[in-house]
Amino acid sequence: MNSESRLKFLKPDDSDDVFAVDRETQNAETTSFVFNPNRNLSLIAQRDKLPIRKFVNDILYCLSNYQTLILCGECGSGKSTQIPQILYEKGYHAKGIIGITQPRRVSAITLAKRVAEEMGQVFGEEVGVACRFLNKFNEDTKIKFMTEGIIMREIFANPLLSEYSVIIIDEAHERNLITDCILGLLKKIAKKRESLKIIISSATMDAKLFRDFYNFRSKSNPKDTSIILTVEGRMYENEIFYLNEPCADYVQSTVDTIMKIHHKEPAGDILAFLTGQEEITRAIRMLREHMELTNVTEDELKVMPMHASLTHHDQLRVFFHTSRNTRKVIIATNIAETSVTIPGIVFVIDCGFIKLNWYMADLQINMLVVTPASQATARQRAGRAGRIKNGKVYRLFTQEEYQKLPNITAPEMRRADLSTTILTLKALGIDNILRFDFPSAPPAKNMLASIELLYALGAIDSEGNLTNDGLIMAELPLSPIHSKMLLESRELGCSDEILSIVSMMQVQQIFSYPKSGQGAITARRQRRNFEVAEGDLITYLNVYQAFVANGCTKEFCGQFCLMYRHLKRVVEIRNQLELMLTKQFKMKFNSTAASTTIIRRCICAAAFPFAAYLHHSGTYRMVRGDTEVNIHPTSCLYTEKQPSWIVFGEVVHTTKLFVRDITTIESPWLLELAQHYYHKTSVRNNQI
């Protein structure tokens, strides 16, 4: 069945259409990030037309009378770019730096550049940015955009943030793990520093929760310390369409809808939301096949991905203008939901799903789970359309299903591994983690499981205090498992190889996976050049060493079906980690080239909590909990003779529980390297 007969929409008066229009249309307004099509307007004129500029006096009044402002501004009202400028114009920069946090690197960089441009400043001077692998600021910087990880490092260095006069937490509705941690720390700082002003900003969030959280009113001081301000926005109308019947494959439906829009709708770029990199890659491949069949050229339809694993340059490509007759199609994860507004977007396609981390405390494992999105997420995605003219939003689910969605996505604090958070808080001197004031308290079982894991890794002692290794693990921008792996490599004499492996594990995908034809056969044959029986992590090491030995060239990656941009990012990450370890921790690097046994022992010494053995049924069982798991199809061990014992790095839940980043081990290593965690018992199958 072709796309013409499969998807019919855009005619709300036709009862036979697959899509039905929502009569209550949603609105989205222009933003400071959109390049106004009226070219004769100056940047200042564009800026002054933004809705947030009408509320300058209200914002200043709230900040004068309250320490914390909860700012609810509709999508595109100008919150992210205008609030820092308003504060700068009113002299807040004279009292200290105006700091703005963003949940993602690309939003921090692009917003900083836009604000510098609007202010007529050189980017990196008065207006700067700080994020992983990029620092563009100096001692004269007064407005500083940061990722949330950077402000956490700032709190390490300066617990009261005395250099800052205002801290703006943008896109607070995302409620990821580090956001909630920062919100809790800012509450403690605010009690000590009454002069520090805090602004919590978002388009879709539980404003009352944040207001009550930052309200320090007491009997001795009955005055409220926080207030909510809601900002209206100037909006273009969005029509929202739903499916009449559920679709079997939302990736296929996304591709069909893109082609339908391109053939039937007037000019306007398309933004489609999918859950992850693998789905985006599949959708782009399918879309290009459609283009070939229908004789649509790249000059007519320019398709681009947008996800966190892309290099900074590749992420910024989506913001570049195309020629007049070219329609731009961006297929993105939720990285495109907030803060950054891609110019020219008129049509949005929402698959209705999102990929979340979910922590199973009983097994101490994080799972990547694809779940239905929330209504707040759907509204946020819809707000990406209609920025320059009336827009259309296509939701690939029924209106009845939308009504069943939860109002908001569960905060990551309630569904994530807390070991990194606990390490960070303890390094900041907060000993009683169980009594720390989070905006949403995490489940006690998650907290206790994370503490148990840190104790097993040697990061904390029996009294709950940080060990020397724990202090280093708190400083490193890695998970505790990966940090432990690096620390163990010092004693085992394989730190050079382990650093390469850990760096490779920071990117999502290094192999190219064509889905059909000769390309898939060729890619599989080329992967054989690197694969070894010892598992995925040793395979990653072989790939990295071969990439460096061949000059880190794009030609080498093309020949062996490798992802060039991801491997280039690995090189960047490795260089940064090596610089940190040598300068800050005086770590010396050594190498073992004799065999992989030492490297595998080192991996086992850190990843021992995630060990599994081959059950007589042909599947693997985790040593802890005896849960059945399966080798992921992308693992180099998937079609090989299955080893008796493995450790793994990640669990993915689709049709089954699949494990990835696998390394083969010997069962005696668990007793030798983790005798505090395992003991041997006399049971069948020689289980530990």
Residue 547 in this model has a pLDDT that exceeds 90: yes
Per-residue tokens: 292: 């070939």
Q: Measuring CA to CA, which residue among 405, 396, 385, 404 is closest to residue 251?
A: 396
Least confident window among 77-86, 457-466, 509-518: 509-518
Choose the final residue of a domain: 187, 206, 231.
231
Give dist(CA 258, CA 289) in Å, integer: 13
Question: Do 8 and 65 belong to one domain?
Answer: no
Asked, for residue 445, whether it belongs to a domain, the answer is no
**Residue 73 identity (one-letter amino acid):** G
Question: Do 406 and 513 belong to one domain?
Answer: no
- The overall average pLDDT reported for the chain is 85
What's the pLDDT band for 325 if we cut at 50, 70, 90? confident
Q: Give the pLDDT of residue 233.
A: 63
Per-residue tokens: 676: 């505090």
- Taking CA 487 as the corner, what is the angle to CA 486 and CA 489, rounded to the nearest 5 degrees? 65
**Residue 654 identity (one-letter amino acid):** T
**Residue 585 identity (one-letter amino acid):** F
Q: Give the pLDDT of residue 287.
A: 92
What's the pLDDT band for 25 if we cut at 50, 70, 90? very low
Asked, for residue 423, whether it belongs to a domain, the answer is no
Residue 470 in this model has a pLDDT that exceeds 90: yes
Question: Do 60 and 142 belong to one domain?
Answer: yes
Q: Measuring CA to CA, which residue among 424, 90, 477, 181 is closest to residue 189?
A: 181
Question: Do 242 and 163 belong to one domain?
Answer: no
Per-residue tokens: 476: 């490193």
Question: Do 136 and 281 belong to one domain?
Answer: no
Q: What is the pLDDT of residues 66-92, one digit of tens each?
A: 999 999 877 667 788 899 999 999 999
**Residue 8 identity (one-letter amino acid):** K
Choose the final residue of a domain: 382, 412, 442.
412
- What is the pTM (predicted TM-score) of this model? 0.76
Q: Measuring CA to CA, which residue among 422, 480, 475, 484 is closest to residue 447?
A: 422
Question: Distances in Å between the alpha carbon of 256 and those of 215, 320, 550?
Answer: 50, 25, 41
Average pLDDT over residues 561-583: 91
**Residue 354 identity (one-letter amino acid):** I
**Residue 44 identity (one-letter amino acid):** I
Q: Measuring CA to CA, which residue among 347, 240, 244 is closest to residue 22?
A: 240
Q: Give the pLDDT of residue 18.
A: 41
What's the pLDDT band for 4 if we cut at 50, 70, 90? very low
Q: Measuring CA to CA, which residue among 239, 79, 106 is closest to residue 173?
A: 79
Asked, for residue 49, whether it belongs to a domain, the answer is yes
For the ranges 50-64, 298-312, 401-415, 483-497, the one whose mean pLDDT is highest: 483-497
Residue 41 in this model has a pLDDT that exceeds 60: no
**Helix 468-475 and helix 480-492: axis angle, to 10°?**
120
When comparing pLDDT for 9 and 331, which is higher? 331
When comparing pLDDT for 649 and 218, which is higher? 649
When comparing pLDDT for 338 and 434, which is higher? 434
Residue 656 in this model has a pLDDT that exceeds 90: no
**By the 8 A CB rule, do 328 and 302 touch?**
yes
Q: For the chain, what is the domain count?
A: 3
Q: What share of the chain is helix, strand, coil (3-state, %, to 5)?
A: 40, 20, 40
- CATH number at 222 reads 3.40.50.300
Choose the final residue of a domain: 389, 412, 435.
412
Per-residue tokens: 290: 């459609």
Residue 632 in this model has a pLDDT that exceeds 60: yes
Average pLDDT over residues 256-269: 92
Give dist(CA 399, CA 243) in Å, integer: 7
Q: Give the pLDDT of residue 220.
A: 62
Q: Give the pLDDT of residue 368.
A: 78
Q: Where are the alpha helices (DSSP H) in 535-616?
A: 536-549, 554-559, 564-583, 597-607
Q: How far is CA 196 from the centre of its chain?
A: 29
Q: Give the pLDDT of residue 17.
A: 39
Query: Token match 């990821």: residue?
Result: 176
For the ranges 33-42, 382-391, 619-628, the one whose mean pLDDT is highest: 619-628
Helix/strand number for the chain, H first, E second: 24, 24
Q: Could you give the percent of the chain with pLDDT greater than 90?
A: 46
Q: What is the pLDDT of residues 223-237, one digit of tens each?
A: 889 999 988 765 577
Q: Beginning with the edge strand found earlier in the chain, give each strand of the sheet holding 164-170 in spatial order.
A: 134-136, 127-131, 143-147, 97-102, 164-170, 197-202, 68-73, 226-231
DSSP sequence for 288-306 = HHHHHHTT--TTTEEEEEE
**By the 8 A CB rule, do 368 and 375 touch?**
no
Asked, for residue 28, whether it belongs to a domain, the answer is no
Residue 208 in this model has a pLDDT that exceeds 50: yes
- Taking CA 302 as the corner, what is the angle to CA 300 and CA 304, rounded to the nearest 5 degrees? 170
Per-residue tokens: 61: 């009044």
Q: What is the pLDDT of residues 139-178, one digit of tens each?
A: 999 999 999 889 988 998 899 999 999 999 998 887 888 8
Question: Do 587 and 624 belong to one domain?
Answer: yes
Q: Give the pLDDT of residue 1.
A: 38
**By the 8 A CB rule, do 381 and 348 touch?**
yes
Question: Do 657 and 565 belong to one domain?
Answer: yes
Least confident window among 359-368, 570-579, 596-605: 359-368
When comparing pLDDT for 51 and 667, which is higher? 667
When comparing pLDDT for 41 and 583, which is higher? 583
When comparing pLDDT for 9 and 43, which is higher? 43
* Torsional class of 243: left (φ above 0), alpha (ψ -120 to 50), beta (otherwise): beta
Asked, for residue 443, whether it belongs to a domain, the answer is no
**By the 8 A CB rule, do 352 and 395 touch?**
yes
Average pLDDT over residues 177-199: 92
Least confident window among 8-12, 41-45, 342-346, 480-484: 8-12
Q: Residue 324, exposed/middle/buried by CB under 10 A (0-12, 13-18, 19+)? A: exposed
- Total residue length of the chain: 688
Give dist(CA 340, CA 32) in Å, integer: 10
Q: Beginning with the edge strand found earlier in the chain, give each strand of the sheet holding 327-332 in spatial order.
A: 19-29, 235-243, 391-395, 345-350, 269-273, 327-332, 301-306
Question: Do 254 and 362 belong to one domain?
Answer: yes
Q: Give the pLDDT of residue 104.
A: 83
Residue 214 in this model has a pLDDT that exceeds 50: yes
Question: Do 227 and 251 belong to one domain?
Answer: no
Q: Give the pLDDT of residue 396.
A: 95
Residue 24 in this model has a pLDDT that exceeds 50: no
Question: Distances in Å between the alpha carbon of 26 and those of 51, 344, 391, 637?
Answer: 17, 18, 10, 49
Q: Residue 566, exposed/middle/buried by CB under 10 A (0-12, 13-18, 19+)? A: buried
Give dist(CA 482, CA 499) in Å, integer: 9
Q: Give the pLDDT of residue 523.
A: 85
Q: Give the pLDDT of residue 311.
A: 64
Residue 30 in this model has a pLDDT that exceeds 70: no
Question: Do 384 and 488 belong to one domain?
Answer: no
136 phi, psi to nearest 5 deg: -120, 75
**By the 8 A CB rule, do 101 and 147 touch?**
yes
Average pLDDT over residues 539-558: 94
Q: Give the pLDDT of residue 630.
A: 92
CA torsion through residues 420, 277, 537, 496, sign: negative
* Torsional class of 102: left (φ above 0), alpha (ψ -120 to 50), beta (otherwise): beta
Question: Do 265 and 398 belong to one domain?
Answer: yes
Residue 312 belongs to domain spanning: 3-21+235-412
Question: Do 283 and 329 belong to one domain?
Answer: yes
Q: Residue 186, exposed/middle/buried by CB under 10 A (0-12, 13-18, 19+)? A: buried
Residue 254 in this model has a pLDDT that exceeds 80: yes
Asked, for residue 461, whether it belongs to a domain, the answer is no
What's the pLDDT band for 131 if we cut at 50, 70, 90? confident
